[in-house]
Amino acid sequence: MTTEQSPLLGSDIGPPAQCNGIEDASAVLSRDDVYKRFSKTQKRGIVALVSWAGLVPLFVSGSFIPAIPQVAREFNCTGSVANIAISLSIFAVALGTFFWASYSGFYGRRPIYLLSLPILAIGSVGVTFAGTITALLAWRFVQAFGAGSGLSVGAGVIGDIYRLEERGYAMGIFWTVRSAHAHTAAHAISNVVHAGMSARACTCAARGRLATHYGSWRTMQFALFVAATVSWLLMAFFMPETSQPSARGLDKLLESEGLESEPAVCVPGMHIRAVNRLHLTCTIIIYDCLGNTIGAPLAGHISDRIVQRWKVNRGGVWVPEDRLRGTTIAALVFVPMSVLLSGAITQYVHGTLGIVLNLVCLFVNGLGVDLVLSPCAAYFVDIMHARSAETMAADNGLRSAFIALATAAILPLINHIGVFATNAIAAGLAWIGFVLLWVTIDYGDRMRAWIDVGFATSSDN
């Protein structure tokens, strides 16, 4: 008979080490041994490697945005045509994310890095020497497709080597780098909004894009080739295979089911897409990044503590949605209010005061976004531990699709309704995201019971 009991919790109810409760002592020992394969130093090194591999792809989209005016002039096309390269690359990253994540579950993490990074490098060379806009678009697709591995496989690696109670903090460290991907939409706005901002603000934005401002846009693309090559060498010489024993498809064929139809994965993903917000900033984007740098590890640590506390309160029973409880204040207040106030300040407050207030908004937003995103990423790994990379790919694909649409729509919105109204829409989406997140916290067990795609239990986490 179908019930609403969570498939994650079915084996976890009751006192530890009893037949009606948690797994027996030998199973616990086995899971502990899995996470003791690497020392603390080795784990930190692995996190550093995957974080670097995750950082390089972020520049594939972000570095090209300020180059649009140069590209349009060089190829004698409109800015809108050149902007297609951005949307195309976002689509290619999403496609690559699904592709690489799926095969990382079958062949392992290390082979995927060793294959995808050369594709990123080759694509970067192609973009560097592209002679026509058509060739540029084609090579951008190849470049972005190769970059897709850095946005999902890294999360799978962290799930491989860290225990449930430690995973949030490690994911926060990784997210400190990876969350810059959420700035893609913000970077897009900070450049396309040039048409609607003062000459002073445009000059400010140009100064913040040093590689493009002081050299050709091709210089940055060649730098991506170098960075991808360095990343491949690091992976080849220092990255071990982290997949857990018998977890790869080569060792054990995993049941194949679609993840995007699962509400427990889709709904928090919708919230993440909602908080990928729209900013109208220039070089002060660094304050947003500062907020991310502080927020991601802090959020991971907080989520780990919350998981541990609620598990103790329930007598040893683990409920994965507990990790999301620490996101509510940031989702309700920090993210939407900082976006809304930033829009109002940008449109109505001028001079030094406006800049200072925007700096505050950017910092609060960066902090708030990672207080939401980092625990959500760890939650995805928790509930689908054996297929964590694929789960992150589903999230990245949905979010990339949203960003692609937002990038295409932002300039018409600003031209028609203004900066403040555009940011108000973004804030409204963030509040909708908060509602979805709250629904997941309260009804996550029921949503997981609707479609069982092989959820993890405490025994295999």
- In tens, the pLDDT along 189-230 reads 334 333 333 333 333 333 334 444 445 788 888 989 999 999
**Does a structural domain hold residue 8?**
no
**Residue 21 CB contacts under 8 Å (≥ 6 apart), including other chains:** 12, 13, 14, 15, 316
Residue 372's nearest CA partner among 448, 305, 456, 430 is 430
The predicted model gives 233-252 an average pLDDT of: 77
**Does a structural domain hold residue 205?**
yes
pLDDT value at position 258?
Answer: 52
Residue 19 has a CB neighbour count (10 Å cut-off) of 6
pLDDT value at position 301?
Answer: 81
**Residue 446 CB contacts under 8 Å (≥ 6 apart), including other chains:** 4, 6
Q: How far apart are CA 235 and CA 256, in angstroms?
A: 28
- Give residue 428's pLDDT band: very low, low, confident or very high (50, 70, 90): very high
Give the up-direction half-sphere exposure of residue 119: CA atoms within 13 A in the CB hemisphere: 22
DSSP secondary-structure letter at 46? H
Residue 460 has a CB neighbour count (10 Å cut-off) of 16
Residue 29 has a CB neighbour count (10 Å cut-off) of 11
Entry pTM = 0.57
Chain centroid to Cα 158, Å, comes to 14
- Give residue 30's pLDDT band: very low, low, confident or very high (50, 70, 90): low
The predicted model gives 319-334 an average pLDDT of: 90
Mean pLDDT value across the chain: 74
| Cα distances (Å, whole numbers) of residue 388 to 6, 45, 266, 392, 394 | 19, 20, 14, 6, 10
Q: How far apart are CA 427 and CA 433, in angstroms?
A: 10
Contact 423, 196 (CB under 8 A): no
Phi then psi for residue 255, to 5 deg, are -65, 130
**Does a structural domain hold residue 7?**
no
- In tens, the pLDDT along 103-112 reads 887 788 999 9
Which run of H or E residues covers position 460?
A: none
**Does a structural domain hold residue 423?**
yes
pLDDT value at position 141?
Answer: 92
How many domains are there within the chain? 1
Q: pLDDT > 70: what percent of the chain? A: 70
Q: How far apart are CA 375 and CA 167, in angstroms?
A: 10
**Does a structural domain hold residue 19?**
no
Q: How far apart are CA 137 and CA 157, in angstroms?
A: 31
**Does a structural domain hold residue 20?**
no
**Does a structural domain hold residue 383?**
yes
Which has the higher per-residue pLDDT, 248 or 425?
Answer: 425
pLDDT value at position 251?
Answer: 53
Residue 334 has pLDDT above 70, yes or no: yes
- Give residue 457's pLDDT band: very low, low, confident or very high (50, 70, 90): low
- In tens, the pLDDT along 127-177 reads 999 989 889 989 999 999 999 888 778 888 988 888 888 888 788 778 776
DSSP secondary-structure letter at 256? P
Say which CATH number the domain at 322 has. Answer: 1.20.1250.20
The predicted model gives 413-433 an average pLDDT of: 88
Residue 115 has pLDDT above 80, yes or no: yes
Contact 433, 323 (CB under 8 A): no
Q: pLDDT > 90: what percent of the chain? A: 18
Residue 257 has pLDDT above 50, yes or no: no
Residues 42, 48, 51, CA angle at the centre, nearest 5°? 140
**Residue 99 CB contacts under 8 Å (≥ 6 apart), including other chains:** 145, 148
> Structural domain of residue 297, as residue ranges?
36-244+257-460
**Reduced DSSP (H G I as helix, E B as strand, rest coil) percent helix, strand, coil of the chain, to 5:** 80, 0, 20
Contact 47, 173 (CB under 8 A): yes
Residue 124 has pLDDT above 90, yes or no: yes
Q: How far apart are CA 61 and CA 143, in angstroms?
A: 10
pLDDT value at position 407?
Answer: 66
Q: How far apart are CA 224 and CA 231, in angstroms?
A: 10
SS3 41: helix
DSSP secondary-structure letter at 248? S
The predicted model gives 435-457 an average pLDDT of: 82
Contact 284, 355 (CB under 8 A): yes
pLDDT value at position 215?
Answer: 57
| Residue 423, burial from CB neighbour count under 10 angstroms (0-12, 13-18, 19+) | buried
- In tens, the pLDDT along 275-321 reads 443 344 334 455 555 666 676 677 778 888 888 888 888 888 888 89
How large is the greatest C-alpha to C-alpha distance in the chain, in angstroms? 73
Residue 91 has a CB neighbour count (10 Å cut-off) of 18
Residue 271 has pLDDT above 80, yes or no: no
Q: How far apart are CA 252 and CA 6, in angstroms?
A: 25
DSSP string, 190-235: HHHGGGGS-HHHHHHHHHT-HHHHHS-HHHHHHHHHHHHHHHHHHH
- Give residue 118's pLDDT band: very low, low, confident or very high (50, 70, 90): very high
Residue 361 has pLDDT above 80, yes or no: yes
